[in-house]
Chain A
Amino acid sequence: MKRILLAVALVALAALSAACASTGGSTPPAPSGPVVDGPTIVAKDLKFQTTSVEVKAGSNVTIHFDNQDSAPHNVAVYTDSSASSAPAVGEIVTSAKSELVVPALQPGSYFFRCDVHHDMTGTIVAK
């Protein structure tokens, strides 16, 4: 019986440890150099009101995020919809505004989503 209890506790701790370990690796470093002002993305009714935005390629850009929901949201920018590589991950906020500095992007199309609600997605085009 004690062995079973111990196994249950170990499985739970392992899951938490795995999550904590993956947190450290997912936060990209803050970009250095000048930053240009960028677009505003609004979250409302569990949707991004702006699903496609343009930013200047080759420059660090500030994206303004306005979460008008009582649910927590953020804006996380990924290189593609697999969400495996994140140039910038915004803070998760509830009924608040935040800013996200995206490091200089090469011209092209990038994917953004809310990390809490993965069905909230959009596209960032760097030109």
Chain B
Amino acid sequence: MNPRSSLRPLDVVIRIAIVGLVLGTAYIHSTLGGLLFTLNALGYLTAAVAIVIPLAIASRFRWFIRLGLMGYAATAIIAWAVQGPYYTTAYIAKAIEVALIALLAVDFARMDGNPVKVVKAELALLGSKVGRRAAAGSAGA
């Protein structure tokens, strides 16, 4: 896996749009009141920070943050589809989340490539690390 680390102008535009959409749906959820909606808004705020924060560990796992945010938004859409409520503000929030998923998918494709290959490569890397640690542990015993 060779994720691209340098940002092109279009990448910056996409990233700004993603943050804007995340903040938009976070704001809508923060106005709804109640613990669940407030936690949902806080989750989106955290994701907005994680998607752009210039920390080495965040950059290394940006692929995971993108996938996680896509899953988070998809879960919010499905939960709403199941239990509602169906009114104008909710439709706006869900339209934002659909656009967010689409932009995250584009961002992923541009920065990381094929998600299946990325996940396979990361799992292989994790497996080799665990294997090395187990081998070192048994050699030391």
Contact = CB atoms under 8 A, between A and B. Distances in A.
Interface of A: 1, 4-5, 8-9, 11-13, 15-16, 18-20, 22-23, 26, 46, 69-72, 74, 92, 115-119
Nearest to B77: A15
B113 interface: yes
B32 A12 contact: no
B116 interface: yes
A117 B81 contact: no
Contacts, number: 73
Nearest to B83: A118
Interface residues of B, number: 29
Nearest to B106: A5
Given A12-B101, A12-B102, A13-B98, A4 B31 contact: no
B33 A12 contact: no
Given A9-B102, A12-B74, A72-B89, A19 B94 contact: yes
Interface string B104-125: 0110010001111000000000
Contacts of A12: 74, 77, 97-98, 101-102
Contacts of A118: 83
* 6 shortest interchain CB distances as A-B pairs: A71-B33, A115-B85, A19-B81, A23-B86, A12-B98, A15-B77
Contacts of B87: 72, 92
B61 interface: no
Given A12-B102, A19-B84, A70-B33, 12 more contacts: A5-B105, A12-B98, A12-B101, A15-B81, A16-B77, A19-B94, A20-B86, A22-B86, A72-B31, A72-B87, A92-B85, A115-B84
Contact of A15 (B78, B105, B116): B78
B33 A4 contact: no
A71 B32 contact: yes
Contacts of A115: 84-85
A19 B31 contact: no
Contacts of B113: 1
B40 to A, nearest CB: 13
A1 B101 contact: no
A11 B74 contact: yes
22 contacts: A1-B109, A1-B114, A4-B105, A4-B116, A5-B105, A8-B70, A8-B105, A12-B97, A12-B98, A12-B102, A15-B78, A16-B81, A19-B80, A22-B81, A22-B86, A23-B86, A71-B31, A71-B32, A72-B87, A92-B85, A115-B84, A115-B85
